[in-house]
Every structure is written in C-alpha cells, then in structure tokens.
Structure 1
Amino acid sequence: MKLESIRTFLSTLQEYRGVRITQTFNSPEGKSLTVTCEPSTGAFVIRDLDRAETWLHQSIEDAETFIVHYLQLETTTVNA
C-alpha cells in the first residue's frame, strides 16, 4: 500500500470526523486495525479488535507510522 493512500484515508477520516467513519487496514498476514477519528479532538483511535488493544494518535503522521509498523506493511513512497 502506498503511504500516500494511508495519508489520504486518515485525512478523510479527520475531515469528516463528525460522521463517524471507520476505516479498516489489513495486513497480508491477517492482522487488522480499525481507525476512527474523535469528533471533538481530531485524534485517531486505532484498535486491534482481536487483541482488544486501543491506541490514540494526535497526528496523521503518527497514526500513519503506527499503522505501517504495526501491520508490517510494505509501503512505497510517492514522489510529488
């Protein structure tokens, strides 16, 4: 998955945080994370439902880095 795609998904969640959109990211190994955006703060709530763990990240960059590392996604950067 391209890093730009992850950023776009997270940016959309933050832009429409009052709508309560949930985005799911999956790894080829079967790990998955759900991500929502808190309406009042814009923080990202990331959950691994299988392990019942939750993390909070304040920025798109922090959430993106966490998702990539946690799911061990092979990503490519997009040169703009």
Structure 2
Amino acid sequence: ILGRCTVVYLECDEETVAARIARNSGRPLLAGDAMARWSALFITRKPVYERLADLVVDVRHGSVSELGHRLEVALRDYAAAKQEVEN
C-alpha cells in the first residue's frame, strides 16, 4: 500500500491538540483523560508517522478550510515533483 499511496503526516503541537480535543468530546479512543491518552498514543506513534510520511503538513494554525487548502496545495506540489522525477 505504501508504494501506491501518499502518506501525509499532519503535524500539530500538544497545545493545539488540547484545544481541539476540548471542542470535540466524541472520540471514544480519547474518553476519560483525553490529553493523557493522546500523549501516550502520540509518543509511540510519532516515530512511525515521521518515518512513513512522504509529506509533512503543519496544521497548527488556520481554519478547517485553510488547512484543507494547505493540504491540497502540498499534495499537488508533491505529485508534481514526483512526476518530474519519474520523467
């Protein structure tokens, strides 16, 4: 799968994640002490995310629309660069 897909790591800091988790309590995996659970998951997953990512997009600041646009541009640029290398 990894060879046929583009893996994007959405990079975010703990402060931003805490604010977002506080606004959305509907995540069963984060029930209870959400930040403690998120931190424990993130500590184990971060090295994997970084190793597998083809692309890293900073999603700390901006509206959902702005972040979506940032991701779209990053994916388009990545695809163009990959196409250039393949040709």
- Whether TM-score is above 0.5 comes out as no
| Structure 2 length-normalised TM | 0.29
As a proportion of its length, which structure holds more strand?
1
Instruction: State the structure with more CA Rg.
Output: 2
As a proportion of its length, which structure holds more helix?
2
